[in-house]
Homo-oligomer: A and B are copies of this chain.
Amino acid sequence: MLAEEDIPRRWYNIQADMPNKPMPPLNPATREVLRAEDLFPIFAEELCRQEMNQTDAWIDMPEEVREMYKYYRSTPLVRAYGLEKALGTPAHIYFKNESVSPMGSHKLNSAIPQAYYCRREGVTNVTTETGAGQWGASLAYAAKLFGLEAAVYQVKLSYEQKPYRRSMMQTFGAQVTPSPSMSTRAGKDILTANPNHQGSLGTAISEAVELARTTPNCKYTLGSVLSHVTLHQTVIGLEAEKQMEMAGEYPDIVVACFGGGSNFGGIAFPFMRHNILEGKTTRFIAAEPASCPKLTRGEFRYDFGDEAGYTPLLPMFTLGHNFMPPNVHAGGLRYHGAGVIVSQLLKDGLMEAVDVEQIESFDAGVLFARSEGIIPAPESCHAIAATIREALKCKESGEEKVILFNLSGHGLIDMASYDKYLAGDLINYSLSDEQIQRNISALDKTMH
């Protein structure tokens, strides 16, 4: 744990230090390069400026935001002695425990500044999408903190799989609608084409963006993917850097699960900075579900961030914005694309990606629960699985590598998935190359 005065005062903006900057987002109508002000109708202005900022490596946290961070930060950095022993590995395994946030995950780190900037700019209503509900619950609470009304579109599959997260959002006073819904043009179109559509983050984003566009004084907020979200999450890695120093170690490998990239970037970028600027050789591993493998099997190209095609075109690794991920329990990872920063870094070989099958992820989660006492979120189980793979390699080679992973959240609201796992009812979803290619090649017809 850090002393209060050691909680970071600035976020780290890796865009300023990247050897190759991300390519620019494009206006979907004109295909022209987007400027920050083009995003003002949808997002708080300060967030748009952060999104496009490729020059300042450090962005000051507003004092009000840091005050709210202090309610639950710093989060602990923990040496996973129990897991090391269970694996019999010489590796030193550390995890950053973001599950201690009152919302149960890292998502509050960005919900607070997003709600804060909206409030400062006179916004009264915010809207967003959520998968498993970690982001939606965080935004609902942050909105309440700053006196904003919140409306959340939750992916229908998760709305039904994880009713307790819906209850959490409602307890904080948010409106929650399962997506796709009949309340928006985008939702109606999707449901008309497929009445049994189970929703994805892509459909929920379309609906929330549409609501923001059509509601006075209402802004959209996003829980991952975008660069300003990842910026806010760097508080994780900046804390971890100081904490690793206190422990007298430096990570050889940094691991995080991967949905849109915010928890990955949050823990990885502050360390990656030392690779870029000082030639350190830490490896960075993003662990994605085998059922939604944009980093390992997707294509790098311009694509929309949402199902309906409302967002700017973003240069990213994608499975196609109409890709419908299978019903895995890691709802927060069911997204077709990767953020633009991570996509560029992966292309440039500054990081790696692995995919993890659903059952392997829960094998890892249960082993972790029994050895460390924390039941991890299904999303975080992917990071644990990738960590275990590396720790077992160390066991074979005898190397004492230092592995740091981000425990992005706890799984207390996801116990139904553990029930299924314990009953032997979970399945893996292996996608054929044909399935992977279907939506990507459809893109070629409409976009260069």
Contact = CB atoms under 8 A, between A and B. Distances in A.
A204 to B, nearest CB: 21
A412 B100 contact: no
B170 A422 contact: yes
Interface in A91-126: 100, 102-104
Contact of A163 (B71, B102, B412, B415): B415
Is the contact region of chain A dominated by helix, strand, or loop, or is it mixed?
helix
Interface in A355-390: 366, 369-370, 372-375
Given A164-B164, A170-B422, A71 B373 contact: yes
A366 B144 CA distance: 12
A100 B163 CA distance: 22
Nearest to A165: B415
Given A1-B1, A100-B100, A168 B415 contact: yes
B104 A167 contact: no
Nearest to A142: B373
A175 to B, nearest CB: 12
Nearest to A374: B102
Nearest to A362: B171
Nearest to A365: B171
A100 B99 CA distance: 9
Nearest to A372: B102
A78 B72 CA distance: 10
Interface of A: 1, 71, 78, 100, 102-104, 141, 144-145, 163-165, 167-168, 170-173, 366, 369-370, 372-375, 410, 412-413, 415-416, 418-419, 422
Q: Sorted from nearest, which 6 A-B pairs have the closest CB atoms? A: A164-B415, A167-B415, A102-B373, A102-B374, A412-B412, A167-B419
10 contacts: A102-B374, A164-B164, A165-B415, A167-B416, A167-B418, A167-B419, A168-B375, A168-B418, A171-B369, A171-B370
